Amino acid sequence: MYSENQPSQNQTLNADFMLVGLFGETKHALLLYTVTFIFFLIALAGNALLIILVYLEPRLHTPMYFFISQLSLMDLMYISVTVPKMLLGQVTGDHTISPSGCGIQMFFYLMLAGAEFFLLSAMAYDRYAAICRPLHYPLLMNQRVCDCLVSGCWFLGMVDGLLLTPIIMSFPFCHSRKILSFFCEAPALMKLSCSDISLYKMVMYLCCVLMLLIPTVVISSSYALILHLIHRMSSSESRRKAFATCSSHMTVVLLFFGAAIYTYMLPDSYHTAEPDMMVSAFYTIITPVLNPLIYSLRNKDVTGALRSRMQSGLSLSKVVKKKA
């Protein structure tokens, strides 16, 4: 019996996966495709612009904007890992993805998601140091400390991807190879396995709890101390300025962590295909679009730097035209 079944198992292991896609059989597929493509372009342009602006503008050479530029880089990579394959499949009609391609896609999204969790906690600590320890801030958040924090975030994200991806991809997938998602997402892929993965589910759940718990503790503690200090401030202007400094980051944290908790920490009984796909679309497409808008439109330093760069560009073009 074993020898008879072996060829079919090998064939199953080497077979391509089929991605359902974000649009499915809806009548409004063209409209949804156009909106998604526009969001993708906005995310690319917004995050790339923020990275370039932070790099070029001297007034933005501070720890806070250094972390924001790293967040934009992660979002830029994050949306580039998942969305282009989905958009190309919608155009060509080919929704298949090879096992190796699936593993690469899963590794990068796990790495980037894990790195972003820890980066958001580093940003919260930076805000705590700036508001609650202003005299010690240059020492607490010097360039070396910032580089170490960012390197640690990338390293921990890479460890997350290297730990989970090989294990998931080693499962035998002998049921339908149709992934109920528009990219190779770990929870959707695990549902296709025909082996007993209850132990791995528990290990993955504990891993996700740690990946979310540690940043949550750091973020909650930082903002609890910040809010306590804001409450004690006598000047309403100082309270408004301090709260405005933190509100953008708090918005991003709530959006990203809320989607992650729903996807990875709620029991299976709370999950169905369509809501899961909508949540996946939210944190892979919508969040990378919102982050640069949140940090630019609500930030006077960023808008001021952008305005000055645009004015200098216009002045330079006028000089070139006069010389011509």
At 72-118, the pLDDT tens digits run: 999 999 899 989 988 888 888 888 898 899 999 999 988 998 899 89
As a whole-number percent, the residues of the chain with pLDDT over 90 amount to 23
Q: According to the model, what pLDDT value does residue 145 have?
A: 94
Distance between CA 278 and CA 24 in Å, rounded? Answer: 12
Q: Where are the beta strands (DSSP E) in the chain?
A: 17-19, 96-97, 178-179
With tokens 């109920």, the residue in question is 180
* Domain range annotation of the chain: 17-292
Q: What is the pLDDT of residues 185-195, one digit of tens each?
A: 888 888 888 77
Q: How much is the pTM?
A: 0.84
**What radius of gyration do the chain's Cα atoms show?**
23
pLDDT at residue 67, as a whole number: 94
Percent of the chain surpassing pLDDT 70: 83
Provide CATH code, domain 17-292.
1.20.1070.10
- At 4 the pLDDT is 41
Compute, in degrees rounded to 10, the torsion defined by CA atoms 143, 146, 150, 153.
150
Residue 11, pLDDT score = 43
User: 72-86, 122-136, 238-252: which range is least confident on average?
Assistant: 238-252
- Choice among 15-19, 72-76, 224-228, 247-251 with the minimum mean pLDDT: 247-251
Q: What is the residue-averaged pLDDT of the chain?
A: 81
Cβ distance 252 to 120 under 8 Å? Answer: yes
